[in-house]
Amino acid sequence: MRAALETALRQGVQALGLALEEAQIARLLDYLELIQKWNKVYNLTALREPAEMLSHHLLDSLAVIGPLRRHSGGRPLRLLDVGAGAGLPGVVIAICCPEVSVTCVDTVAKKAAFVQQVAASLKLPNLRGLHARVESLSEGYELVCSRAFASLLDFTSWSRAALVPGGVWMAMKGKPPHDEIAALPDDIEVFHVEQLAVPALDAERCLVWLRVKS
């Protein structure tokens, strides 16, 4: 099973044009196994088939690595993954971008505990799971991201105090959310909507980049 998943993962990584080291490929597969193992007890995801988890979770999250790398230019930054659940995309970002310090925050204690377990098991010093409400966070992050978490209005208003001046939001969405964009307050601007093509996933995906107007 792992061999088939590895083949599919490598094909997906190649289709996305990503350069990943062998250790990163291995960690991504180990992470998938941890989700499967803990899912039986913690109900981390509704998906049960490893192949589905690979396409709908891993490859879907890997699709943001290229855009994230272009944004950061390889420089160190602090990233907050809001409503991270099983750690998607936060864990994938931590594996692929060791220069990024990733905090996965979730209001469900067992999901934050799972991310902590992943950080320990996969030896990822740049990853931590945090059990908290995002509204309660005050330490600053240069990038705040979410995946299928909430409307853009709620996402930005709840996490605004955690964003440093000059920081940006990165929201993973399906179709471009024109209604959600229209509902944003005047002082928040969408400066880029980026279409994503996820290998092995026949669904629309996009990244919405936002910032506070200067």
Identify the CATH assignment for 2-212 out of 3.30.420.40, 3.90.25.10, 3.40.50.12780, 3.40.50.150: 3.40.50.150
Q: Are 159 and 80 in contact (CB under 8 A)?
A: yes
Does the structure show a pLDDT above 80 at 46?
no
Does the structure show a pLDDT above 90 at 25?
yes
Q: For residue 53, what pLDDT is reported?
A: 83
What whole-number distance in Å separates Cα of residue 161 and Cα of residue 53?
Answer: 33
pLDDT range class, residue 38, cuts 50, 70, 90: confident
What whole-number distance in Å separates Cα of residue 114 and Cα of residue 62?
Answer: 20
Question: Domain limits of the chain?
Answer: 2-212
Q: For residue 44, what pLDDT is reported?
A: 72
Give me the phi and psi of 124, to 5 degrees please: -115, 90
Does the structure show a pLDDT above 90 at 202?
no
Q: For residue 67, what pLDDT is reported?
A: 97
- Give CA separation, 88 vs 17, 32, 59, 68, 190, in Å: 20, 11, 10, 14, 23
- Give CA separation, 12 vs 9, 20, 81, 197, in Å: 5, 12, 23, 11
Q: For residue 144, what pLDDT is reported?
A: 98
Q: For residue 122, what pLDDT is reported?
A: 98
Round the average pLDDT of the chain to a whole number and report it: 93
Q: What tokens were used for 193?
A: 């909507």
Q: For residue 54, what pLDDT is reported?
A: 87
pLDDT (average), residues 175-187: 96
Taking CB atoms within 8 Å and a gap of at least 24, the contacts of 134-140 are: 134/80, 134/82, 134/83, 134/105, 134/158, 134/159, 134/162, 135/159, 135/161, 137/80, 137/105, 137/161, 137/162, 138/162, 140/78, 140/164, 140/167
Q: Are 119 and 95 in contact (CB under 8 A)?
A: no
Does the structure show a pLDDT above 90 at 155?
yes
pLDDT (average), residues 26-40: 91
DSSP, res 14 = H
